[in-house]
Amino acid sequence: MADLSAVLNDILKLDGAMCAAVVDSTNGMILASAGVGVDIEIAAAGNSDVVRAKLKTMQLLDLNDKIVDILITLGKQYHIIRPVSNAEGVFIYLVLDSAKANLALARRKVSDVESLIERI
């Protein structure tokens, strides 16, 4: 069974992958991280706010559903946020260089990483 650091280092093998983290959205704290390219501490805290805001909005709209992933597309980067389904408040965060990344492949890899994390 892999540890979080090994799992994140594996996801960084994707073309265009810059950095990745596993984050606790309840407090914005990083549980594990790998790579470079953005200030991961600031990104983790800010994206925790994004996840909490979306969950609150879903509750206000009385949506009986779950977030599969959140994609933020910037001019030069993709940011993928994927909650870990069996770990409330925890999400995977991946930053990619949009000029080098295959978005479909990256989303699939993040899904695979979620499955690995669920077994840790």
Domain chopping of the chain, boundaries: 4-119
- The model's confidence at residue 120, banded by pLDDT at 50, 70 and 90, is confident
Query: How far apart, in Å, are the Cα atoms of 62 and each of 44, 52, 74, 119?
Result: 27, 15, 30, 31
> What predicted TM-score, i.e. pTM, was given to this entire model?
0.94
- 32-87 confidence digits (pLDDT tens): 999 998 999 999 999 999 999 999 999 999 999 999 999 999 999 999 999 999 99
Instruction: Give the Cα separation of 7 and 115 in Å (integer).
Output: 11
Q: What is the pLDDT of residue 1?
A: 39
Distance CA 110, CA 96 (A): 12
The CATH class, in words, for 4-119 is: alpha beta
Q: 110: closest CA among 88, 91, 90?
A: 91
73, containing H or E segment: strand 70-73
